[in-house]
Amino acid sequence: MRYLYNAPESSLDKRYLYHWAILQTALEKTAPKYGPSVMQPAEFMTEKRQTAELRDATGKLTVMYLGTTPEMEQTLVPIRIPVDKNLGGYCVFLIRTENQKRFDAVKSLDDLRKFKIGLGQGWIDVDILRANRFEVVTASCYDCLFEMMENKRSDLALRAAVEVIDEYEARKAAMPDISIESNLILYYPMPMYFWFSKTDEGRRLAARAEEGMRMMIADGTYDRIFAQYQGAKIQRLKLKDRKIFRLDNPLLGPETPLQDKQLWFDPATYQ
């Protein structure tokens, strides 16, 4: 059983190490039942192309990690377990250090709407932010996102709590004027799922991965891997102490497992 996933976008791109570790462990858990498996990086693809490759079942990609949209819910097979427990829905800002005082003055969503938010072109988050009346500036590539903010074309790079520390550490020497904003979180529910083709093989790959993930949740392996990769980030960012501004996500479908609290991270209750 071959799980071909999207390659990193650059040598500095470490966003998905945790997510593929979750999938790899799920496959190991299910080896006695399903037999051997292989995980291999494919070539790098944009989110739009990844979706198209899976939808058309070309075989160039067999698993994708991405947020949900109504169209994808209809054309692909999701495992409805938020892979990162929706920690990625807690967004922290990379900013130019000189602007920290402007962010210190933010008291409301309308205050936040005065800032130009940088996101990647074609990202699902762009539609969510624009639906909530934010001004979004899009970057044509991953590394361009940070250059755009540094060059004052945007006021902040909106980054998931799971990503921002690694991104800052990788760039602070080359970009000494940037920092992680100190006090705020912009939150929206955006479960990031593993997705598969709507074919017999795609459903088989999905069934195995879901079975393994649920075994991990039941025996505590899932929480241990989450803590291994994310625990220090959660503590360093002091997520529990930040002011949270909450947004609606108009792209969520009715099958989103919002009521299953064990699947969702909450900074107020995380130990």
Of 125, 159, 187, the one marking the end of a domain is 187
CATH of the domain at 63: 3.40.190.10
Instruction: Compute the residue count for the chain.
Output: 271
What are the pLDDT digits (tens) for 126-163?
999 999 999 999 999 888 999 999 999 999 999 999 88
Query: 217 with 262: CB under 8 angstroms?
Result: yes
What are the pLDDT digits (tens) for 40-55?
999 888 888 999 999 9
Quick one: 81 and 134 in the same domain? Answer: no
DSSP state of 181: -
Q: Into how many domains does the chain fold?
A: 2
Q: Which residue from 107, 111, 85, 69 is spatially nearest to 255, judged by alpha carbons?
A: 69
Kindly report whether the global pTM for this prediction surpasses the value 0.85: no
Of 164, 187, 210, the one marking the end of a domain is 187
Of 143, 168, 187, the one marking the end of a domain is 187
- Record the tokens describing residue 182, joined without a space: 């100190």
Placement of tokens 């969510």 in the chain: 128
What is the average pLDDT score of the chain? 93
What are the pLDDT digits (tens) for 64-102?
999 888 889 999 999 999 999 999 899 999 999 999 999
Q: Which residues contact 232 (CB under 8 A, 6 or more apart)?
A: none
**100 is in which domain, residue-wise?**
89-187
For position 124, what pLDDT does the model report?
A: 85
For position 14, what pLDDT does the model report?
A: 65
One-letter amino acid at 266 equals: D
For residue 197, is it within any domain? Answer: yes
Quick one: 194 and 166 in the same domain? Answer: no
For residue 97, is it within any domain? Answer: yes
Q: Measure the CA angle with vertex 75, ends 21 and 13; round to 5°.
A: 35
